């Protein structure tokens, strides 16, 4: 369910970006005209589509917030950390035994690596 809402949310975000970029930059935008500066009272179709997509985007945002809150209601980061295995186990060395010496130079024979 959460993946479906998230997919719709991302599609709405891309549509909203596209619709806003298609609008004229004369101060129309989401407010439907310049207000006092113009006498244009009716909104055009592009502004109505912008309002619809913006409303759907807000609804999906709130839905994702509610779904996220329900999924994490009884869990904590500290609970997850305490149930995992400890980092240092007695059977495994903490760091691997790495031979970081530079390779031998010249014609000297290469010594075998030390036994572990």
Q: What is the pLDDT of residue 71?
A: 79
- Each domain of the chain, given as residue ranges in start order, spans 1-20+47-72
Query: How many C-beta atoms surround the C-beta of residue 50 within 10 A?
Result: 22
Q: What is the pLDDT of residue 14?
A: 97
Residue 50 in contact with residue 19, Cβ under 8 Å?
yes
> 53: exposed, middle or buried (C-beta count within 10 Å: 0-12, 13-18, 19+)?
buried
Q: What is the pLDDT of residue 41?
A: 47
- CA dist 40 and 26 (Å) reads 12
Q: Which two tokens stand for residue 43?
A: 């909104």
Say which DSSP state 97 is in. -
The series of mean pLDDT values per 10 residues for the chain, 116 residues long, is 93 95 70 52 79 96 92 71 58 65 68 71
- CA dist 59 and 92 (Å) reads 51
């Amino acid at each position: 369910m959460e993946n479906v809402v998230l997919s719709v949310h991302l599609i709405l975000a891309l549509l909203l970006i596209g619709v806003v970029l298609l609008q004229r930059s004369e101060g129309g935008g989401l407010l439907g005209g310049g207000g006092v500066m113009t006498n244009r009272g009716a909104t055009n179709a592009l502004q109505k589509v912008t309002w619809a997509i913006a409303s759907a985007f807000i609804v999906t945002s709130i839905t994702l917030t509610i779904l996220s809150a329900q999924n994490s209601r009884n869990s904590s980061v500290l609970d997850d950390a305490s149930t995992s295995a400890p980092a240092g186990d007695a059977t495994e060395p903490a760091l691997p035994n790495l031979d970081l010496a530079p390779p031998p130079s010249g014609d000297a024979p290469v010594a075998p690596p030390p036994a572990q």
